[in-house]
Amino acid sequence: MTDLGLDRLREVIRSYGSAITAFSAGVDSTLVAVVAQQELGANALAATAVSASLAPSELEDAVALAATLGLNHRFVATHEVEDSRYATNPVDRCYFCKTHLYTELESLAREVGAKYILNGLNVDDLGDWRPGARAAAERESYVRSPLHEAGMGKAEIRQAARQLGLPNWDKPALACLSSRVPYGLPVTPEKLARIGQAEAMLRNLGFRQLRVRHFDDRARVEIAPNELARVAAEGLATRIEADLLALGFPAVEIDPRGYRSGSLNEGVVPLPVISA
């Protein structure tokens, strides 16, 4: 099945002729970027958007991964956090983020002569809250979703990435830092920096999949259920609390339910947001 998926993906991407991949260093966009470079050669470019909502560790990963894989790689600066439509943190915040991203990538595409902009949307994203997909749909003449077009879901994507020897084939999904701020609470560069520092501290303790949710009155730490037992077993709660209080959070709670993808969407947004 993986070979068939890769074959379909190669065929889809080959049909584009030239393209820029929105490269975040996640497994989805990495697979797209690598296959694009294999199929399109010099007509392929990977571009990483840099803004306050990008965790410093993710920027470092993008730089290192692009170098390791030999990608033709560029950066674009996006300024969504300066846009009040984004910074006020409505439930469709991601729409404005992707609007900024595609605007910058469209400009880059004109500069380098690329016909299409590629994202990492896949078939398993259809049941999640993805307002950013609306920004892509509004630009369907030049923004394409090759994984979706090839009918690939997350499991098949990871298998294909592993088959190609991509070092991040099993990397946990990681949304932008703004996703840690509950809807309706303002997104600011200061909050985003605090979240990034807090999550870096937790990763330095060896935790792999986690989120630090930034409420006005507390930080809520979510750690993957299969890792959460370490907190009690190794007596880490006191250290975690002290480290996050030192960053300026007024209080710290460790969620006993553990990490849940999209937990801030629970009871807030309707699903699904886009159809197959």
The pair of structure tokens assigned to 38 is 């294999």
Q: What is the pLDDT of residue 271?
A: 40
Is the model's pLDDT at 272 over the cut of 70? no
**pLDDT tens-digit readout, 236-260:** 999 999 999 999 999 999 999 999 8
> Domain spans of the chain?
2-163, 177-265
Architecture of the 177-265 domain: 2-Layer Sandwich (3.30)
Q: How far is CA 243 from CA 63, 166, 201, 250, in A?
A: 28, 34, 8, 12
- Of 30, 22, 57, nearest to 158 by C-alpha is 30
Q: What is the pLDDT of residue 265?
A: 58
**pLDDT tens-digit readout, 90-119:** 999 999 999 999 999 999 999 999 999 999
Q: Is the peptide bond before 272 cis (omega within 30 degrees of 0)?
A: yes
**pLDDT tens-digit readout, 172-222:** 888 899 999 999 999 999 999 999 999 999 999 999 999 999 999 999 999
Round to whole Å and give the CA distance between 258 and 211: 9
Q: What is the pLDDT of residue 273?
A: 40
- CATH topology identical between 2-163 and 177-265: no
Count of Cβ atoms closer than 10 Å to residue 127 Cβ: 12
Round to whole Å and give the CA distance between 194 and 210: 15
Is the model's pTM score more than 0.85? yes
Q: Worst-scoring range by mean pLDDT, 57-66, 156-165, 257-266?
A: 257-266
Average pLDDT score over the chain: 92
Round to whole Å and give the CA distance between 33 and 13: 10
- Pair type for strands 219-223 and 210-214: antiparallel
Q: What is the DSSP string of 173-209?
A: P---GGGGSPTTSPP-HHHHHHHHHHHHHHHHTT--S
Confidence tier at 268 by pLDDT (50, 70, 90): low
**pLDDT tens-digit readout, 111-160:** 999 999 999 999 988 756 678 889 999 999 999 999 999 999 999 999 99
What kind of fold does domain 2-163 have according to CATH?
Answer: Rossmann fold (3.40.50)
Confidence tier at 274 by pLDDT (50, 70, 90): very low
- In one-letter notation, the amino acid at residue 138 is E
Asked if 101 contacts 139 with a C-beta cutoff of 8 angstroms, the reply is no
Mean pLDDT calculated for residue range 72-87 = 97
